[in-house]
């Protein structure tokens, strides 16, 4: 199963890297997101706030890359006619789908690094990390949390044909509910509750806390906890939704 997982990640990264359109987006988006961080908050005179805004923009990009990447990859499976073959493989379907999400997560990890690098290069965003070790752990924990949330979303993509549209639609609510776009304190209390169930919320907190001070480890722990929960929920959802798709006969539909 580990071999199938690693092989799946490799295949999806290679497949992704051979689409010039997707690749150009991955190079351009970090510049756009770094610019959003710089101009939206207008925090030129507060280096720590500027760094926080850059990190927020980087996590926003990461979520976009994961949700769009995995939904696009799954819709592609339908168009390529490989979805049925993946469902018919003897390994559990979660092991087939999870690499797509985690591979998108790694592309998202690159997105974080690129956004911060462009912010540093173009807008001179300071990159002073208070807890480098925690930051090094927080980054993969964030990738995992967001990738596994992608897995839960991916289960619905198996059921619905318009996976890509659904992926696009899911971008913005998660940005808002996790406080990446606007501070959660400005939103109604129930939105905060929603945010607590979302991986990007804990991923952003883990990265921000490890870069800017106080106590990052509880948030890193939460990243791992929600990832495990997502894996369980995603696996169960995939099992149920694949059965529903087999009953409906919708796996080959494009």
Partner 1 sequence: MNDLCRTYRTHVGIVRRRRTDVQALGGISFEVGRGELFGLLGPNGAGKTTTIKILTTLLLPSSGSARVLGFDPAREAGEVRRRVGHVFGGDRGLYDRLSALDNLRYFADLYRVPVREKRARIESLLELVGLKGRERERVETYSRGMRQRLHIARGLLHDPEVLFLDEPTIGLDPVGAREVRETIGGLRDQGKTILLTTHYMYEADELCQRLAVIAGGVFVATGTPAELKARVLDRTVIEIEAFGVSEAVLERLRALPGVISVSTEQRDQAEVVLVQSSVGSELTHALLRELEGTTLGKVIAREPTLEDAYVELVQTA
Task: Please report, for residues 11, 25, 172, 239, the alpha-carbon distance to residue 54 in angstroms, rounded to integers and kept in the order given.
Answer: 31, 19, 18, 38
Distance of closest approach, residue 173 Cβ to partner 1, in angstroms: 24
Query: Between 54 and 104, whose beta carbon lies closer to partner 1?
Result: 104
Whether the Cβ atoms of residue 129 and residue 210 lie closer than 8 Å to each other: yes
C-alpha span between 210 and 229 (Å, rounded):
23
What is the binding site for partner 1 (CB under 8 A)? 3-4, 7-8, 11, 14-15, 18-19, 80-82, 84-91, 96, 243, 246-249, 251-252
Distance of closest approach, residue 105 Cβ to partner 1, in angstroms: 19
Distance of closest approach, residue 159 Cβ to partner 1, in angstroms: 15
Query: Between 95 and 233, whose beta carbon lies closer to partner 1?
Result: 95
C-alpha span between 31 and 251 (Å, rounded):
38
What's phi and psi for 81, nearest 5 deg? 80, 20
Distance of closest approach, residue 151 Cβ to partner 1, in angstroms: 17
Question: What does 228-245 look like in DSSP terms, one character per residue?
Answer: HHHHHHHHHHHHHHHHHH
Distance of closest approach, residue 156 Cβ to partner 1, in angstroms: 19
Query: Between 76 and 178, whose beta carbon lies closer to partner 1?
Result: 76
C-alpha span between 3 and 247 (Å, rounded):
30
- Token pair of 167 as six digits: 């992926």
DSSP state of 151: H
Query: Between 10 and 124, whose beta carbon lies closer to partner 1?
Result: 10
Query: Between 77 and 155, whose beta carbon lies closer to partner 1?
Result: 77
Query: Between 76 and 115, whose beta carbon lies closer to partner 1?
Result: 76
Distance of closest approach, residue 82 Cβ to partner 1, in angstroms: 6
Residues 54-73 as b or e (16 or more Cβ within 10 Å = b)? bbbbbbbbbbbbbbbbbbbb
For 46, the enclosing helix (H) or strand (E) is none
Distance of closest approach, residue 20 Cβ to partner 1, in angstroms: 11
DSSP state of 185: G
Query: Between 90 and 183, whose beta carbon lies closer to partner 1?
Result: 90
């Amino acid at each position: 199963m580990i071999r199938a997982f690693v092989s799946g990640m490799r295949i999806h990264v290679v497949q992704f890297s051979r689409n010039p359109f997707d690749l150009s987006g991955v190079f351009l988006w970090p510049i756009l997101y770094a610019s959003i961080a710089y101009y939206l908050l207008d925090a030129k005179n507060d280096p720590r706030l500027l760094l926080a805004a850059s990190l927020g923009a980087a996590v926003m990009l990461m979520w976009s890359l994961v949700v769009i990447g995995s939904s696009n990859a799954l819709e592609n499976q339908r168009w390529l006619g490989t979805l049925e073959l993946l469902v018919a493989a003897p390994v559990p379907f979660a092991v087939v789908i999870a690499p797509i999400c985690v591979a998108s997560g790694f592309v998202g990890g690159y997105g974080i690094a690129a956004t911060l690098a462009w912010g540093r290069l173009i807008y001179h965003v300071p990159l002073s990390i208070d807890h480098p070790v925690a930051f090094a752990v927080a980054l993969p924990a964030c990738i995992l949390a967001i990738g596994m949330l992608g897995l839960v979303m991916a289960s619905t993509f198996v059921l619905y044909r318009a996976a890509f549209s659904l992926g696009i639609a899911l971008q913005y609510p998660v940005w808002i509910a996790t406080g990446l776009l606007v501070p959660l304190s400005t939103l109604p209390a129930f939105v905060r509750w929603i945010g607590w169930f979302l991986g990007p919320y804990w991923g952003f907190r883990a990265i921000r806390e490890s870069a800017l001070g106080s106590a990052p480890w509880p948030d890193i722990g939460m990243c791992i906890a929600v990832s495990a929960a997502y894996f369980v929920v995603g696996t169960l959802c995939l099992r149920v939704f694949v059965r529903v798709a087999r009953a409906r006969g919708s796996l080959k539909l494009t």
